Amino acid sequence: MKNTKIKIIVPFIALLTLVGLVNIVQAAVASINISPTSLTKNVGDSFNVSVLVNPAGNTVYAVEGTVVFNGVSCRSIKLADGVMPQTTPTCANPSFVLGLASGATMDKTLFTVSLNAPSIGTATAGITGANIIGAGVSISNTSVGGTYTIKTIPVVTPKPTTVTPKPVTKPAIVTPVTTPSIETAPATQPIEQLVEQPTEQLVSETVPQSSQLAAVGSVPSFGTGSVGLNILVGLVILMAIAYLSYSFIRRKRKNIM
């Protein structure tokens, strides 16, 4: 019974060991890669990709191959530092033979390619005729390319601009202000004119005839009872007053002279 179990277990262990060895061998394959392997760009964009060697645990001293493009155009190729070209790649002739003097045991960039996306679609970049050389022997001819999506430029729809109307300002109503008119007082008659007038004229102007007659009419009748007699008496009185006034004025003028 024990022998039967051992016979079953041993082949199973051997199978697992073989699968592990195959995976180790596959993981240790050196390759020439293009990075990045995928990218999305707009029509007319320019972008760069790098060509590098992955030693995968080996020591790489030289690489060779040819870069091929589809759907993109090459603008320029620039070698990396530490690379000794035997055949330098160009856009017109992208074949290369490059040496690594000290040997590369880790990922090493070989050169950089500047590309342009002229049209919509799927573009690719790859390596043909790849050959990775170790210590005097070829250790791999594996390569990994890149695939790039070229799309149209998105159209940006401008947002409508809302114009807010400005409020209409009504003109202010101005009420006219009426300036009161200033009446000019009549000029006062000069005092000189009043002084120069004769005294007789002033007396006659001061007491109008109608006032004199009215005064006479108001004189008592002295018991006569006759209106005509009253008037006569009034006239006599007026004449007496006038004579006295005239005499007074003459005397005053003589005194002045």
Q: Model confidence over 60-118: pLDDT tens digits?
A: 999 999 999 999 999 999 999 999 999 999 999 999 999 998 899 999 999 999 999 99
* Position 96 in a domain: yes
Same domain for 142 and 199? no
Structural domain total, the chain? 2
* Position 59 in a domain: yes
* Position 3 in a domain: no
High-pLDDT (> 90) share of the chain, %: 46
> What is this structure's pTM?
0.52
**CATH number of the domain to which 58 belongs:** 2.60.40.680
176-226 pLDDT per residue, tens: 666 656 555 555 554 444 444 444 444 344 444 444 444 444 445 545 556
Q: Is 62 exposed, middle or buried (0-12, 13-18, 19+ CB in 10 A)?
A: buried
Residue 170 to residues 165, 167, 238, Cα–Cα distance (Å): 15, 9, 82
* Position 4 in a domain: no
Same domain for 141 and 198? no
* Position 115 in a domain: yes
* Position 131 in a domain: yes
Strand intervals (E) in 84-239: 84-87, 95-104, 108-116, 121-133, 138-140, 142-144, 146-151
pLDDT for res 2: 45
Can you give the residue range of the structural domain that contains 231?
Answer: 192-256
Same domain for 115 and 221? no
pLDDT for res 5: 43
Same domain for 197 and 133? no
* Position 178 in a domain: no
